[in-house]
Structure 1
Amino acid sequence: MVLKSQTPIQAATSKGTYYTYRASWVGYHVNHIREMLFILNDIKKRDYARWENEVESLRYFIGQLNICKPDPKREQRQLAIEYHEELKAGRTPKFPYTNEWLEKVRNEKIIKDSNSKRELTENLPDDWRDDIFQIAYDKNSKHILAIAVMICSGCRPKELENGVNVKLAEEAGVIEFSISCAKRKGEAVEIRQFSINDTSLAFRYLYSQLLFNQGELQLRDIKYKAASTEVGRLSQLLNLEIEPVSPYCFRHAFSGDLHAAELNREQIAKCLGHGTDETQIYYSQSTKHSSGRFRIGEIQSTEPVKMKTSIRINKLRQQMQESATGIISIK
């Protein structure tokens, strides 16, 4: 594969595509070098002038191949062994060049650092969610209900299309959410449920709408892309001098609320609709915007959470305890 005169590092926009382009680049030039070696061996005795030209071409392809030369710190044999051992242990092998792409694109300034919604959320001012909602309310936005639900529930924008049911709980001042998860496996649809009590503008608006609609609202087939665009447009009216806010910023802020409420890892994963507790490292744990006004309970999910991180932590603790016990016994 020829990348329109671009090297893999120039063509890639992520680590994943970089590894794909890198492998294609190496394979392309190795094949040319292999073919040229056969040609050189055949014509050296018969056509010296052509042989010299082919040697120059060979030097070119070797130079191109050196752009993506193997990591000198890792031998190929060792990489193959590690790859095999990872597969044997039932784990997904990691690329050996984990940081290579990020280091190069930053050093060569080929592309900007990826936009992190978590970092963006943590740098937003206090009460930014109330500010955006107030603008949506003042401008009578047709997406105001969807925005209120995303702020209060932390749902994914796509889940507005799948289905979000909102209703008044038996306890006064509490709203219950039931969300059809956007992350589907096969035909199974995970449903997560929880109830919250909040004092935010979005919560109070949602509560009033429920009172006017016999205590229940069903959001389904919402044009979530249009709602997402509206959130970005409204955020620009705040004059924050930052990139437009994404609905996923609501989700990251909701994650911060969950941590502020001191929920455990399993409860947080259920509220966010995660199948494993591993993914929490990608979500905000900042309680900067959580002032204790948020209360959550009655957390349920139709699918269990795989506690992978907790299992690893417990194993590490056990190993450390066993190691410490061994040291003590030697003494």
Structure 2
Amino acid sequence: MKSKKREETKKMTVTKNLPEHDKALIRRAQAQLKQIQQRAGFGGASADKDALRPRVCSPKTIEQYEKAAERVIRQRMQLQAIAALSKNSFYFYRAAINSQMPPLLYQHLVELKQLTPGTPDWDQHLEIIEHCCDLLEDFPADPDQSHLYTLSGKPTWSDLAPPKKDRPKSQTKAQVLSYLPDDWMHRIWNKLPILINRDVYAAEHLRYAIAVLSLTGCRPDELEKGVKVQRTPKGDLLLTIKGSKVSHKSGQEVRQLVVAIDTPWAEELGKAVDRYDGTVWGYAPAKYLNDWVRELGQRCGFEQLDKLQDRQAQARKRAKARGKPATRSALRQIPDTVSPYVYRHAISAGLKQAGWSKTEIAKALGHRVTRTQQYYGKKRQAKKSPISIKAVRATHEIKENTSPPTLRVGPGQKQANGRSGTRP
């Protein structure tokens, strides 16, 4: 009993004798956690750790957030280092910080009570606590996307990013699609025997996987789960996809696509379904699929986008020095290396070109809102290869939404209505 009282007295004495910097940091962390608890719907006096847990999202997203948060702590990444990344990476890290830093901050405050001030462990915990506090202040939570609106006070990537000339060149899959020829899917399909004859594992999975990818534009993760292929009573193909990127308010758990047999890859699946008693599975591990598709693209002679742009820039420079326009052969567009996600952009572009409604396109791509499809292939990028999808069903109804009408703008930037403006 006496020893317990002595320990409590010792703790009180230690707390009183803390340096002012340590006291201020602990108060700062506690104040931040209190704000997070209140924002999560808990009272100011609540000490329930549930208020500090991450918001509900898919297990894979949580895993990605955890790895990102570990990376931020391990590398001591600061605001400017994160802002120097791409736009998507910036917002991904912001989401990871707001998801994982509050529980981490709470954990280190609890562990701090068991440590002796002035020890290396104490200093290490304080360093992590300070880093968490800095990040939570630099990246305030923004669940309502108020950062999109003028005078919201929330930092955006464009506020913090380095000048455009200092950023690394980005290469999106939508850009890649623009450089591909109309028959790029057929070219890759015709190169399949090279890999199938060389790789036993590829021979078992690759042909059906590429066929499903060409017909549906499904995500590599969905193909890794397996896509079920059957016949409909009318003789078409019925493909059942278990969705990825699914949470309580986004994604489709299951979607089904009815596909016409009007391409070589659809014919291949149709023969397989008949051969295997009415059902066949399209499956490939995401990592192997990515390697296979990239190699097939390289075997087709597809050129990487950055090399293509550099080559065209040099051709224009030489032509300008001669005082003549660059020739068409010098500027010829050799397609970029293909990856699995290019198929997804191609299907999106084809559906838009075919006049499908936004609601039906969202179902086909596995989205729950119509806004997401604006980031995928555009109508002008559609190729002459036919879109075989005839009908689609999905688990959830589609919510029609658009981008906020009053986006914040800076000098030279465009508002949602297309007119340029300046930030007030």
The aligned residue for residue 197 of structure 1 is 260
1:253 and 2:312 correspond: no
What secondary structure, in the 3-state scheme, does the structure 2 residue paired with 1:167 have?
Answer: strand
1:169-228 Cα offsets, whole Å, 9 max, x none, are: 2223x21111000112269961111211153322222222222222321345x3121111
Counterpart mapping for 1:31-110 below 5 A: 90-94=144-148, 95-100=154-159, 104=163, 106-108=164-166
What TM-score results when the alignment is normalised by the length of structure 1?
Answer: 0.63
- In structure 2, how many angstroms separate the alpha carbons of the residues matched to 1:310 and 1:15? 17
The aligned residue for residue 51 of structure 1 is none
The aligned residue for residue 121 of structure 1 is 177
Counterpart mapping for 1:105-254 below 5 A: 106-108=164-166, 111-140=167-196, 141-142=202-203, 143-172=206-235, 174-185=236-247, 190-219=253-282, 222-242=284-304, 243-254=336-347
Q: CA deviation at 1:93?
A: 3.2
- In structure 1, how many angstroms separate the alpha carbons of the residues matched to 2:169 and 2:277? 48
- In structure 2, how many angstroms separate the alpha carbons of the residues matched to 1:237 and 1:246? 13
CA contact (8 A) 2:228 2:239 kept: yes
Report the CA distance shift for 1:289/1:298 in structure 2 as closer, same or farther (over 3 A).
closer
Q: CA deviation at 1:248?
A: 0.3
CA contact (8 A) 1:154 1:272 kept: yes
More divergent stretch after superposition (180-189 vs 247-256): 180-189
CA contact (8 A) 2:256 2:392 kept: yes
The aligned residue for residue 80 of structure 1 is none
Q: CA deviation at 1:96?
A: 4.0
Which stretches in structure 1 are left out of the alignment for 5+ residues? Answer: 25-82, 313-331
- In structure 1, how many angstroms separate the alpha carbons of the residues matched to 2:346 and 2:391? 20
- In structure 2, how many angstroms separate the alpha carbons of the residues matched to 1:164 and 1:248? 16
- In structure 1, how many angstroms separate the alpha carbons of the residues matched to 2:190 and 2:364? 25
Q: CA deviation at 1:138?
A: 4.4
- In structure 2, how many angstroms separate the alpha carbons of the residues matched to 1:285 and 1:223? 28
Q: CA deviation at 1:286?
A: 3.1
1:29-71 Cα offsets, whole Å, 9 max, x none, are: xxxxxxxxxxxxxxxxxxxxxxxxxxxxxxxxxxxxxxxxxxx
- In structure 1, how many angstroms separate the alpha carbons of the residues matched to 2:170 and 2:384? 30
The aligned residue for residue 67 of structure 1 is none
Q: Percent identity?
A: 27
What secondary structure, in the 3-state scheme, does the structure 2 residue paired with 1:99 have?
Answer: helix
CA contact (8 A) 2:211 2:265 kept: yes
Q: CA deviation at 1:102?
A: 5.3
What secondary structure, in the 3-state scheme, does the structure 2 residue paired with 1:291 have?
Answer: coil
The aligned residue for residue 297 of structure 1 is 390
CA contact (8 A) 2:83 2:157 kept: no
- In structure 2, how many angstroms separate the alpha carbons of the residues matched to 1:302 and 1:134? 35
User: How many corresponding residue pairs?
Assistant: 246
- In structure 1, how many angstroms separate the alpha carbons of the residues matched to 2:211 and 2:363? 20
Q: CA deviation at 1:291?
A: 3.0
The amino acid across from 1:302 in the alignment is T
Which stretches in structure 2 are left out of the alignment for 5+ residues? Answer: 1-72, 98-139, 149-153, 197-201, 305-335, 406-424
- In structure 2, how many angstroms separate the alpha carbons of the residues matched to 1:311 and 1:214? 50
CA contact (8 A) 1:198 1:294 kept: no
The amino acid across from 2:193 in the alignment is Y
What secondary structure, in the 3-state scheme, does the structure 2 residue paired with 1:218 have?
Answer: strand
1:8 and 2:80 correspond: yes
What secondary structure, in the 3-state scheme, does the structure 1 residue paired with 2:258 have?
Answer: strand
Q: CA deviation at 1:239?
A: 1.2
- In structure 2, how many angstroms separate the alpha carbons of the residues matched to 1:171 and 1:224? 32
CA contact (8 A) 1:126 1:288 kept: no
- In structure 1, how many angstroms separate the alpha carbons of the residues matched to 2:378 and 2:338? 18
1:116-139 Cα offsets, whole Å, 9 max, x none, are: 101111211111011111101344
CA contact (8 A) 2:231 2:237 kept: yes
Counterpart mapping for 1:14-29 below 5 A: 14-15=86-87
The aligned residue for residue 108 of structure 2 is none
CA contact (8 A) 2:182 2:384 kept: no
CA contact (8 A) 1:134 1:201 kept: no
Q: CA deviation at 1:300?
A: 0.8
What TM-score results when the alignment is normalised by the length of structure 2?
Answer: 0.51
CA contact (8 A) 1:277 1:309 kept: yes
CA contact (8 A) 1:166 1:176 kept: yes
- In structure 2, how many angstroms separate the alpha carbons of the residues matched to 1:116 and 1:124? 13
The amino acid across from 2:352 in the alignment is H
- In structure 1, how many angstroms separate the alpha carbons of the residues matched to 2:185 and 2:217? 12
Report the CA distance shift for 1:99/1:234 in structure 2 as closer, same or farther (over 3 A).
same
- In structure 1, how many angstroms separate the alpha carbons of the residues matched to 2:373 and 2:291? 26
What secondary structure, in the 3-state scheme, does the structure 2 residue paired with 1:166 have?
Answer: strand
CA contact (8 A) 1:261 1:295 kept: no
